Amino acid sequence: MNKHLIALFLFLSIQLTFATDYYVSSSIGDDNNDGISASTPWKTFAKIQAFSFSPGDKILLKKGDIWHQTFKLYSAGTVAQPIIVSSYGTGEMPIVDVVAEHNSLGWMGVGSNLWSTLDVPYDPKRLLIDGVEVLDAAEERIQELGTYIPDLVQYYYDDVTSALNIYSTDSPSNHDIQFSSELYALSLSNDHNITIENIEFIGGYRICVAISSCSGITLRNLKVGEYANFGIQMGSYKVNGVNFQLCDNVIIDNCIVDSEYKFDYSLAGTESGTSNRGPREGVLFRGTINCELKNSLVKNYCHANLNIFTPATEPGGTQLDERVVEDCKVYNNTFTSPDIAYGGRAAIDGFCFDNEIYNNLFIDIAVQNQFNGHNNHIHHNIFKRVKSSPLKAWPTGNAIAIQGYYLEVKENIFENNLMIDCESAGFYISGNNGYGDVIQNVFRNNVIYNCGTTNNNIGIEVATNSNSYSNHGNIFKNNLVYNDSTDETIFFYDTIMNIEVLNDNDSTNGYTISSNIGENPLFIDVIEEDFHLLSNSPCIDAATTPLAITDWDGNAIPLPGTLPDIGIYEYQNIFSNTEHLPNNNIFVYPNPVNEKLFIINNSNEEIEFVAIFDITGKLVFSKALEINSTQISLDIFSLKPGLYILNLTSNLNTYTERINKE
C-alpha cells in the first residue's frame, strides 16, 4: 500500500477513535461529575455550553428528566462524525421546557375585571392560568377581553404600551401565571454537523426550535411546539436590515410539530384582525438551501403549518437584499389543523425556487394553501377537506391558490395532485394581489374531485384581471375535474362552463388548454380513501408525461409497457398477468369468499407458503406452512371486500389465483 494512503488511513482511524458519550441528568446529576457514565452525569446545560465537544461525541439527556433553560451548543461535528444529542435510560422523552411561573408581577386593576402590568417587556404569545392555557385576543382587538367567541378571551398584550392585560374576576396575583421566559427552547446558530433526536422541546415566546447560519443539522424524532409561538424556523432575516442568515442541509425527519393550541373562536366574526391570534408558523423555511422536511406531522398553527417564505421585495416594490429558499424538499408529511378556525395552510411566496413538495397529505385545514414563487415542483399530494375560514368574508377553502403576494409567480409545475372535498376550488388562480403576474405555470395530470362544496361546485377558478398585473400564459393539460352534482365545474374569466368548453378556450389570454376531462375518475373506494384506479378509470393512460418519475406508492411513471396516468397513482393491472391454478389437483374454494378460504391439495407437491396481495400489489396476508397438509384453512374475515391475488408457493412451483372477498 502507498505510504501516503497508509498515513491517511492511520490518521482517519485515530480521528474516528476519540469519541465520547456524555451523560446529563437534571434529577441525579452534578456539574462537578466527569459526565462520562450514567452514574456520574452532569446536571445543567450551562456545563454543556461551556464544554468543547469533539466530532463524534454524544450528549445524552436522561429520559424522564426536565430542564428549564434554552439548549444551546457551541461545538461542531464533521460530516463523517456529527455531534449527536440524544437520550438514555427508560421512560418518556427528556423535556426542555422554557415555560416559567411569573407570580411576582405588579398587577393594577383598571376596571371591568381587567388587570394590567408593565412588568413583562415582551409579548408572551401563549399564556397559562393555573396550569390551563387561555385564549388570547386577536391582534389590536383588546375589546375582545372577557367576551365569549365562544371561549372566554382572557389576555391581550399591547405592543405599543408594553402592557400585559388579563381579564379576571380577582387579581391575577391570586393565580399561577405561566408563559415562556426564553426566546427559544432550542437555539442553534453558526453550528454545524449536529444531530438532535429523541427529545421534547416546549415553549419559546418567539420560536420553539430556531436554527440560523447552520449546516449539516438533523432533527430526528423530536416533539416540538407546545406553548410556543413558532414550531421550527430555519434561517432568519430582518425586514429592513442585514441580519440575513442562511441554513444549508438541515433535515427534519419523523418529528411531531404540534402547537397543542385548541380553541373554538369561530364566532369571532369577519372584521379585520379577528384571525390574527395564536401560534403562527409550524415549520418555516426562511433563507434555506438543500433542506428537507419529511415523515413528520405538523398540526394546528394559526397562520401556516408550512411556510416557505423569503421576500426579495417588500409589498409595493421596495428592494430587499436577496434571500432564497432553494432546492428544498418537503415530502411524506401530514399537515392538519382540525382544532382551529383559521390557518394550517401550506404557503410559498417570495424568492423561492427549485423546491419540491410531494407525497404530502393536507387534510382538515381551515384556509387555502398558497403556492407561489417560481420553478417549484408540486406533485402527488392529497388535499382533502380544505375549509373556508369562518373568520373571512370570502371563500378561502381552495386546495391551492396561486396569487403572488410579493413577486410574480412563474414556471411552477403542479402535476398529479388530488384535490377532494374542498369547500372552494381545487385551483384558484388570480393576479389581483398587485405584486406580480401569474404566468407560464403548468397544471397537468391533476384530479379535482367534488370540490367547491360550498362555492357552486367549482373545481377550477381563473379570476378576471382587475389591476396592472394579471394571470396569463398558463398551461392546463390532461387534468380531470369531476363533481357528482354538475358538469359545470369551471369558472373561467367570469364564465361558468364545463370542461369541454374550457378546452375550447385554448389561447384565451395566452393560456394553453387541452385534453382535460370531466368524467368520474373511478377510484377503488372513495369512502375508505383508497384512491387507486379501477381498471375502467378514464385516468389510465390519459396523462401527459410528468416531470415526476415515481407515484405516491413509489412506482415508476409510467409503468413498463404503459402510458402515464392522471392522479397520484399509476394503475397496476396485476390481474392481466395472473394465471389460474394450472395444477388440477389443487383447489381453492369458496370464491367469492366471506370469512374462510380453503385450499385442497391432492397433488404430490408440498405447499410451503401462502400469501394474499391486494389490487395494488400490497401484501395483506401471509402464512408459512411447516407441515404438509391436504387441506389448508385461511381466516380472512378481516380483509376488506374487493379483489385479491392468492399466491401459493410449493416445493416445486408458484401458483396464483384471483379471489373475490365479499
What pLDDT is stored for residue 619 in this prediction?
82
| 563: pLDDT strictly greater than 60 | yes
Helices then strands, counting H and E runs in the chain, come out as: 3, 63
Burial category of 614 from C-beta neighbours within 10 Å (exposed 0-12, middle 13-18, buried 19 and up): buried
Which residues lie below 8 Å from residue 647, measured CB to CB, with a gap of 6+? 610, 611, 612, 613, 654, 655, 656
- Interval 234-254 mean pLDDT: 77
Per cent of the chain over pLDDT 70 is 91
Closest to 403 in 3D by CA, of 383, 380, 381, 425: 425
| 577: pLDDT strictly greater than 50 | no
Q: Are 300 and 337 in contact (CB under 8 A)?
A: yes
Torsion, Cα 143 144 145 151, to 10 degrees, reads 170
Closest to 331 in 3D by CA, of 362, 309, 302, 368: 362
Q: Are 19 and 31 in contact (CB under 8 A)?
A: no
Tens digits of per-residue pLDDT, 580-630? 566 677 888 888 888 888 888 888 888 888 888 887 677 888 888 877 777
User: What pLDDT band is residue 578 in, cutting at 50, 70 and 90?
Assistant: very low
What pLDDT is stored for residue 573 in this prediction?
67
Which residues lie below 8 Å from residue 648, measured CB to CB, with a gap of 6+? 581, 586, 599, 607, 609, 610, 654, 655, 656, 657
Cα gap 11→14, rounded to integer Å: 5
Residue-level length of the chain: 662
What pLDDT is stored for residue 163 in this prediction?
97
Cα gap 609→627, rounded to integer Å: 11
Neighbours of 511 (CB within 10 A): 19
DSSP 541-600: T-SPPPS--B-TTS-BSSPTTS---SSSS----GGGGPPPP--TTEEEE-SSBSSEEEEE
User: What pLDDT band is residue 549 in, cutting at 50, 70 and 90?
Assistant: very high
User: Which cell numbers hold the place of 352?
Assistant: 423561492
Which residues lie below 8 Å from residue 568, measured CB to CB, with a gap of 6+? 380, 381, 382, 416, 417, 418, 447, 531, 551, 552
Q: Where are any strands of DSSP class E within 261-368?
A: 281-285, 288-289, 292-294, 297-299, 304-310, 325-326, 329-331, 334-336, 345-350, 352-353, 356-358, 361-365
User: Which cell numbers hold the place of 505?
Assistant: 378556450
Tens digits of per-residue pLDDT, 119-136? 999 999 999 999 999 999
User: What pLDDT band is residue 141 in, cutting at 50, 70 and 90?
Assistant: very high
| 433: pLDDT strictly greater than 80 | no
Tens digits of per-residue pLDDT, 627-650? 777 788 888 888 988 888 888 888
What pLDDT is stored for residue 278 in this prediction?
96
Tens digits of per-residue pLDDT, 5-41? 555 544 544 455 589 999 999 999 999 999 999 999 9
Tens digits of per-residue pLDDT, 374-426? 999 999 999 999 999 999 999 999 999 998 777 889 999 999 999 999 999 99
Torsion, Cα 392 394 397 400, to 10 degrees, reads -110
DSSP-assigned letter for residue 16 = H
DSSP-assigned letter for residue 116 = E
Cα gap 200→94, rounded to integer Å: 6
Neighbours of 543 (CB within 10 A): 25
- Out of 245-249, 343-347, 498-502, 545-549, pick the least confident: 245-249
SS3 502: helix
Tens digits of per-residue pLDDT, 523-533? 989 998 999 99
What pLDDT is stored for residue 40 in this prediction?
98
DSSP 390-404: TTSSS----SEEE--
Amino acid occupying residue 658: R
Q: Are 312 and 328 in contact (CB under 8 A)?
A: no
- Interval 144-168 mean pLDDT: 95
Q: Are 312 and 322 in contact (CB under 8 A)?
A: yes
Burial category of 538 from C-beta neighbours within 10 Å (exposed 0-12, middle 13-18, buried 19 and up): middle
SS3 310: strand
Integer CA distances (angstroms), 34 to 61, 71, 185, in order: 15, 20, 26
Q: Are 347 and 310 in contact (CB under 8 A)?
A: no
Cα gap 658→662, rounded to integer Å: 13
What pLDDT is stored for residue 657 in this prediction?
82
What pLDDT is stored for residue 579 in this prediction?
44
Closest to 401 in 3D by CA, of 375, 434, 424: 424
Q: Which residues of 133-167 are buried (b: 16+ CB within 10 A; e: fewer)?
A: bbbbbbeebbebbbbebebebbbbbeeeeebbbbb
Query: Can you name the residues that pair with 442 across neighbouring β-strands?
Result: 413, 475
Tens digits of per-residue pLDDT, 283-332? 999 889 999 999 999 999 999 999 998 865 554 555 555 568 999 999 99
| Residue 494 backbone phi and psi in degrees, to 5 | 70, 10
User: What pLDDT band is residue 469 in, cutting at 50, 70 and 90?
Assistant: low
Closest to 384 in 3D by CA, of 340, 327, 337, 332: 337
| Residue 424 backbone phi and psi in degrees, to 5 | -115, -160
Query: Which strand (E) or helix (H) includes residue 12?
Result: helix 3-17
Burial category of 347 from C-beta neighbours within 10 Å (exposed 0-12, middle 13-18, buried 19 and up): buried
DSSP 441-482: -EEES-EEES--TTTTT-SEEEPPP-SS--EES-EEES-EEE
What pLDDT is stored for residue 655 in this prediction?
80
| 2: pLDDT strictly greater than 70 | no
Per cent of the chain over pLDDT 90 is 72
DSSP-assigned letter for residue 517 = B
